[in-house]
């Protein structure tokens, strides 16, 4: 599903953010990516989204060599990847329903389909009752659920989450992680970048640890590693 | 494109306009001003040209014949003149008619004293032209015809009129081009502001997998709507004011009323409506399209 072969990424300034990284993530896996600040986790996610191109090495996502995608092919490529961020990134002027429907409009789903899909997605994330609320009327946990519903409403085979619980209290963090697990159990490949030691240790999933752009550990049913 | 996508795009375009009201208003005002000036300009130029044209049609070349010419030859000469394609018509004025007109205009009752026609040799053709700029050619040609004694022309009037017509044409094209450039620039600015306000939304759309077309369309629609409204307003204003202004001019310059022939609102608007709309929407489209291409890349 996701393959990196000797991938390096350097920004114009400083040391490489990723340095000769190779990893394989199979269909249906649930993977945590952990590591210190600045270790290259977000860079990894952005490479998978083809927001960035690798400086060297090869990245295959869903059978596509991302470096070989033409500009015109990028939108189609991204429709197979759902993504959520620490800061939710909702459209502030639109209500919950519209925020989720938005993802379907973008890929030109018919209104009839949208009317069916959005409510069912909202009930999966537990927000069926709040579809009319604007983002500022919601708690952080609720906002992240909306973001999750938006990421998933198009049924992407891959879900990427960059610190999805970074702004949430422990209870909400747990609820979001449980949702991610449920989604994974339905077959979606899930990659979660997180700093949440407690959850990583409790969930017993694959854990990939990064440090200074290098993968220093990759464990099945792993735990959060202290580098120091 | 799906119909629902079209309406969604349209709605977002309109939302854009209201979201940055002040910039939209500013570019709307500029386009309105530009197209109003264009409309006024166009009306003035068209009417002036119309007046000039009516005046031109009145400009005649008079052709006099040699003494003792036969009637047949006169008819022949008439046919030769009419064959020229710059000629509109050639009216024959017999010596009797020439005298009657002259005596009526200048002599009045004193004409009674004449028993013979003093203008015996003054039978002539009054030649009217379609294209005054070719008057000199025509005169040279007619002078070369056998049986023609003299050709009288009003060279000054003809040349001045066609020269003036050209000058007005050039000046108006120049001014209109400048106005168009200013409007396009302002639309582009409005759209740039719109894009910067919606940076976040655009980046979200890209993550979700929106095509360039989908992301860009609302902004282009925004520009086109501003352009269309910016064309509609001056058209309405012009429509209301046109007859009033003409009425005012006719009243103020009643002395010249013989000379002043104006086009009707309908004649002006038959061209002005499509041209203004195309210009307005075109400015909106070009201004926003170029900007959007520059600023929104997936
Ligand atoms: N746009 C950029 N331009 C230059 N350098 C960058 C850019 N983005 C990231 N970096 C650098 O690349 C390195 C890795 O950054 P990255 O954002 O991937 O880290 P991270 O693991 O996500 O950190 P955090 O846990 O704080 O989010 C850092 O040294 C960072 O300064
Ligand atoms: Mg990060």
The ligand with the least distance to the CA atom of A37 is 1
Average pLDDT over residues A115-140: 93
Say if residues A34 and A201 touch (Cβ distance below 8 Å). no
In terms of domains, do B124 and B170 share one?
no
**Domain limits at B233?**
3-55+160-295
CA-nearest residue for atom 22, ligand 1, is A42
Nearest by CB to B211, from A75, A89, A154: name it. Answer: A75
Say if residues A162 and A122 touch (Cβ distance below 8 Å). no
A41 interfaces chain B, CB cutoff of 8 Å: no
Q: Do B208 and A154 touch (CB under 8 A)?
A: yes
Per-residue confidence at A228, pLDDT binned at 50, 70, 90?
Answer: low
Range scoring the smallest mean pLDDT among A107-116, B4-13, B40-49, B232-241? B40-49
Pairing of strands A18-25, A206-211: unpaired
What is the share, in percent, of chain A residues with pLDDT greater than 90? 86
In terms of domains, do B145 and B208 share one?
no
The predicted-structure confidence for B29-65, as pLDDT tens digits, reads as follows: 888 988 888 888 888 878 877 877 777 666 678 888 8
Say if residues B132 and B161 touch (Cβ distance below 8 Å). yes
- B131: pLDDT strictly greater than 80: no
Residue from A9, A15, A33, A42 whose mutation best tests the ligand 1 pocket (most atoms within 8 A of CB): A42
A107 interfaces chain B, CB cutoff of 8 Å: yes
In terms of domains, do B47 and B65 share one?
no
Q: What is the mean pLDDT of chain B?
A: 82
Distance A5 CA to ligand 2 centre (A): 21
Query: Using CA atoms, how far apart are residues B188 and B27, in angstroms rounded to an integer?
Result: 9
In terms of domains, do B51 and B174 share one?
yes
In terms of domains, do B113 and B192 share one?
no
Residue B162 has a pLDDT of: 66
Q: Which DSSP letter does residue A204 get?
A: T
- CA dihedral over B233, B236, B239, B241, signed as positive or negative: negative
| A158-162 sheet: strands from edge to edge | A81-85, A158-162, A189-193, A30-35, A206-211, A214-219
Q: Do B209 and A150 touch (CB under 8 A)?
A: no
* Among B93, B119, B153, residue at a domain's last position: B153
The predicted-structure confidence for B63-93, as pLDDT tens digits, reads as follows: 888 888 888 888 888 888 888 888 888 888 8
* Among B153, B177, B206, residue at a domain's last position: B153
Rama region for B116: left / alpha / beta (φ>0; ψ in -120 to 50; rest): beta
In terms of domains, do B179 and B285 share one?
yes
B198 to chain A, closest Cα gap in Å:
10
Ligand 1 proximity of A143 Cβ (cutoff 6 Å): no
Q: Do B214 and A102 touch (CB under 8 A)?
A: no
- A207: pLDDT strictly greater than 90: yes
In terms of domains, do B290 and B195 share one?
yes
Backbone angles phi, psi at A65, to 5 degrees: -80, 105
Average pLDDT over residues B83-108: 80
What is the count of structural domains for chain B? 2
The predicted-structure confidence for A41-55, as pLDDT tens digits, reads as follows: 999 999 999 999 999
Per-residue confidence at B160, pLDDT binned at 50, 70, 90?
Answer: low
Domain edges within chain A? 90-155
Residue in the structure block whose two tokens are 């639109």:
A94
The predicted-structure confidence for B240-295, as pLDDT tens digits, reads as follows: 888 888 888 888 877 666 666 788 888 889 989 999 999 999 988 988 888 888 87
Average pLDDT over residues B153-167: 65
In terms of domains, do B200 and B131 share one?
no
Residue A44 has a pLDDT of: 96
Ligand 1 proximity of A184 Cβ (cutoff 6 Å): no
* Among B153, B174, B192, residue at a domain's last position: B153
In terms of domains, do B86 and B226 share one?
no
In terms of domains, do B110 and B35 share one?
no
Query: Using CA atoms, how far apart are residues B124 and B115, in angstroms rounded to an integer?
Result: 21
Say if residues A58 and A67 touch (Cβ distance below 8 Å). yes
H or E stretch at B182: helix B155-197
- B211: pLDDT strictly greater than 70: yes
Say if residues A29 and A1 touch (Cβ distance below 8 Å). yes
Residue A118 has a pLDDT of: 95
Cβ contacts of residue A130 below 8 Å, gap of 6+? A96, A122, A138, A142
Pairing of strands A30-35, A81-85: unpaired
Residue A156 has a pLDDT of: 95
- A227: pLDDT strictly greater than 60: no
Q: How many CB pairs under 8 A join A and B?
A: 48
H or E stretch at A120: helix A111-124
Q: Which DSSP letter does residue A167 get?
A: T
At residue B142, the 3 state secondary structure works out as helix
- A142: pLDDT strictly greater than 90: yes
**Among B176, B177, B272, B284, residue whose Cα is nearest residue B230:** B284
Q: Which DSSP letter does residue A224 get?
A: P
- A105: pLDDT strictly greater than 60: yes
Q: Do A75 and B212 touch (CB under 8 A)?
A: yes
A78 interfaces chain B, CB cutoff of 8 Å: yes
Tokens representing A67 are: 């470096």
Range scoring the smallest mean pLDDT among A21-30, A167-176, A202-211, B179-188? B179-188
Say if residues A100 and A119 touch (Cβ distance below 8 Å). no
Atom of ligand 1 nearest to the CA of A45: 18
- B156: pLDDT strictly greater than 70: no
In terms of domains, do B64 and B51 share one?
no
User: pTM surpassing 0.80?
Assistant: no
In terms of domains, do B170 and B49 share one?
yes
The predicted-structure confidence for A145-194, as pLDDT tens digits, reads as follows: 999 999 999 999 999 999 999 999 999 999 999 999 999 999 999 999 99
A150 interfaces chain B, CB cutoff of 8 Å: yes
The rounded Cα A221 to chain-centroid distance in angstroms is 20
């Amino acid at each position: 599903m996701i393959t990196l072969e000797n991938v390096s990424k350097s920004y114009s300034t400083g040391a490489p953010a990723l340095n000769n990284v190779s990893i394989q993530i199979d269909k249906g896996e649930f993977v945590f990516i952990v590591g210190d600040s600045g270790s290259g986790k977000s860079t990894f996610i952005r490479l998978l989204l083809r927001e960035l191109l690798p400086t060297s090495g090869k990245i295959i996502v869903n059978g596509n060599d991302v470096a070989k995608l033409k500009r015109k092919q990028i939108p189609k490529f991204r429709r197979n990847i759902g993504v959520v961020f620490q800061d939710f990134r909702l459209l502030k002027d639109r209500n919950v329903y519209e925020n989720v429907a938005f993802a379907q409009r973008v890929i030109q789903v018919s209104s009839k389909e949208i009317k069916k899909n959005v409510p069912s997605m909202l009930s999966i994330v537990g927000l069926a009752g709040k579809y009319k609320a604007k983002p500022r009327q919601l708690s952080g946990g609720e906002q992240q659920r909306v973001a999750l519903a938006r990421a998933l409403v198009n049924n992407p085979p891959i879900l990427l989450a960059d610190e999805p619980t970074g702004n949430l209290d422990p209870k909400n963090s747990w609820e979001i992680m449980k949702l991610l697990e449920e989604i994974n159990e339905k077959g979606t490949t899930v990659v979660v970048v997180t700093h949440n030691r407690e959850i990583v240790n409790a969930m017993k999933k694959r854990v990939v640890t990064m440090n200074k752009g290098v993968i220093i550990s990759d464990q099945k049913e792993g735990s959060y590693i202290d580098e120091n | 494109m799906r119909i629902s996508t079209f309406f969604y795009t349209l709605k977002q375009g309109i939302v854009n306009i209201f979201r940055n009201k002040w910039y939209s208003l500013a570019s709307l005002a500029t386009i309105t001003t530009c197209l109003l000036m264009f409309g006024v300009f166009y009306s003035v130029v068209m009417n002036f040209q119309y007046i000039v044209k009516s005046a031109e049609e009145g400009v005649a070349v008079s052709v006099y014949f040699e003494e003792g010419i036969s009637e047949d030859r006169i008819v022949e000469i008439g046919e030769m003149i009419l064959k020229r394609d710059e000629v509109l018509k050639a009216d024959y004025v017999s010596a009797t008619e020439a005298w009657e007109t002259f005596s009526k205009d200048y002599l009045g009752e004193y004409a009674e004293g004449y028993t013979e026609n003093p203008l015996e040799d003054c039978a002539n053709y009054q030649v009217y032209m379609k294209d005054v700029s070719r008057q000199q050619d025509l005169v040279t040609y007619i002078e070369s015809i056998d049986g023609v004694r003299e050709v009288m022309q009003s060279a000054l009037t003809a040349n001045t009129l066609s020269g003036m017509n050209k000058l007005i044409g050039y000046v108006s094209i120049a001014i209109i081009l400048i106005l168009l450039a200013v409007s396009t620039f302002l639309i582009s600015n409005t759209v740039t502001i719109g894009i910067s306000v919606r940076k976040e939304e655009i980046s979200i759309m890209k993550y979700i997998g929106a095509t360039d077309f989908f992301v860009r369309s609302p902004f282009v629609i925004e520009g086109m709507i501003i352009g269309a409204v910016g064309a509609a307003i001056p058209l309405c204003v012009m429509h209301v004011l046109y007859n009033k202004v003409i009425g005012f001019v006719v009243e103020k310059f009643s002395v010249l009323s013989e000379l002043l022939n104006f086009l009707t609102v309908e004649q002006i608007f038959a061209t002005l409506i499509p041209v203004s709309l195309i210009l307005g929407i075109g400015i909106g489209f070009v201004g926003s399209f170029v900007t959007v291409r520059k600023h929104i890349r997936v």
